[in-house]
Amino acid sequence: MKLYAPSYYKKFKCIADKCRHSCCIGWEIDIDEFTLGKYQSAEAPYASEVLKSIEDSENPHFMLCGGGRCVHLDENNLCRIILNLGEGYLCDICREHPRFYNTVKNGMEVGLGMACEEACSIILNSDGYSEISEICELGYDEESPEFDACVPRQRLFSILSNCEKRYNERLFDIYNEFSVSPNMLGDEKTRLVLSRLEYLDSNHQKLFSCYSGALFDCDGQEKILERALAYFVYRHCSGAEDIFEFRAALGFCLICERLLASLLKNCGDAVELARIISEELEYSEDNTEAIKSEFRLSFTNP
């Protein structure tokens, strides 16, 4: 099976101690069985420190200390596991973050998640989101899905990148082509749905209350919004099992895009705002599902 990635994928390198929102703060990191075994059999002195730092529960994970910091994050925001044992001792989640994977018709796709500020900056500043090419052979196979979500996705990307039309016209064309738009839920309902989600930071709940699904003038932010929407679609629509699920996922993506547009209207750093949307909405399966299920309902009860 082949692995595919967008052209910007290879630009990513973790900025470690220069990161303002380290993924080693605020997240409980589950440790996979294979890596746990490596800690148990390692002889280096730091391996016993690592073992002591694991909370023994059904899902073994690293303890967090003050400010929700991973216990292995040092005062310079560098990982002590890498410094003492080497990168080969990172658990799957730490080694893979911020990458995500989707099984598609002709193989597997990998992308960079926008909750990581470096990945977010790359995504919002790179052209060529529709250039998805093979990066390696994985050496194993997985069952191929029957539905090929890459076909409607490619159609969507060609509408989205049509420079002969203004950005809002392209969005309008997408709404028509796929019979899904943020207005199917309406602004009031969407704000209510957003307000009821689970938040990592309660300030973001208030921040998101400015949501509007209207196609207002985006004041030179069109490229940012276009690339953000392409990212959301690449991540959430590509693994859809049928066109119904593709449209529900697209509804979620369109809400994220309009939320970013609404936040940018009030000014602010586009990378930081997109990162917040990613962290709060798409990095919580429950939140993503809550919004998608509103679209499923609106498709069946128009």
Interacting residues toward ligand SF4 by CB under 6 A: 14-16, 19, 21-23, 97-98, 116-118
Q: State which residue, 5 or 194, has the beta carbon closest to ligand SF4.
A: 5
Torsion of CA 122, 124, 185, 205, to 10 degrees: 70
Q: What residues are paired with 21 via a beta bridge?
A: none
Cβ of residue 43: shortest distance to ligand SF4, in angstroms? 28
What is the Cα–Cα distance from 167 to 225, expressed in whole angstroms?
9
Cβ of residue 270: shortest distance to ligand SF4, in angstroms? 17
Q: State which residue, 125 or 212, has the beta carbon closest to ligand SF4.
A: 125
Q: State which residue, 17 or 169, has the beta carbon closest to ligand SF4.
A: 17
Q: State which residue, 93 or 193, has the beta carbon closest to ligand SF4.
A: 93
What is the Cα–Cα distance from 231 to 65, expressed in whole angstroms?
33
Q: Which residue is it, tokens 């207002």?
A: 216
Cβ of residue 228: shortest distance to ligand SF4, in angstroms? 17
Q: What residues are paired with 54 via a beta bridge?
A: 62
Alpha carbon 268 to its chain centroid, in Å, reads 20
Cβ of residue 116: shortest distance to ligand SF4, in angstroms? 3
Tokens standing for residue 74: 């040092």
Q: State which residue, 16 or 193, has the beta carbon closest to ligand SF4.
A: 16
Which residues contact residue 250 at a Cβ distance below 8 angstroms, ignoring those fewer than 6 apart?
156, 174, 178, 180, 233, 236, 237
Cβ of residue 16: shortest distance to ligand SF4, in angstroms? 6
In this structure, the chain runs to a length of 302
